[in-house]
Amino acid sequence: VFLGFTNFYYRFILGYSKITTGLIGAFQGIKNKIKKGPFKFFNKARESFINLKATFISILIIIHFNLTKFI
């Protein structure tokens, strides 16, 4: 669910695919039932999650258009 949410913003985040590589790798195979058992959050996935979370927190990704401001 988290990656689905963040995927909407991929075109606004520079290097999105690099940031999410660890998370995507951790989830590969789960959807097709190749990986079984509990999900393990390894260091690469944890780093990707922290970096992606920091990206959303630290920068203003999208702002509403303001007609009163000069472009």
pLDDT in tens, 12-64: 788 899 999 888 877 776 666 666 666 677 888 899 999 998 988 876 666 66
By the 8 A CB rule, do 26 and 47 touch? no
**SS3 state of residue 57:** helix
Domains held by the chain: number: 1
Instruction: Give the residue numbers spanning the domain of 41.
Output: 2-58
Structural domain contains residue 30 = yes
| Domain membership flag for residue 69 | no
Q: Is residue 34 part of a domain?
A: yes
pLDDT at 18: 92
- Domain membership of residue 70 (yes or no) is no
Q: Counting beta carbons within 10 angstroms of the beta carbon of residue 3, is it exposed (0 to 12), middle (13 to 18) or buried (19 or more)?
A: middle
Closest residue by Cα to residue 61 from 53, 50, 69: 53
Query: Judging by beta carbons within 10 Å of its beta carbon (0-12, 13-18, 19+), is residue 31 exposed, middle or buried?
Result: exposed
pTM above 0.75, yes or no: no
**Is residue 47 in a domain?**
yes
pLDDT bucket at 10, cuts 50 / 70 / 90: confident
Domain membership of residue 15 (yes or no) is yes
Q: Is residue 66 part of a domain?
A: no
- Identify whether 53 is part of a domain: yes
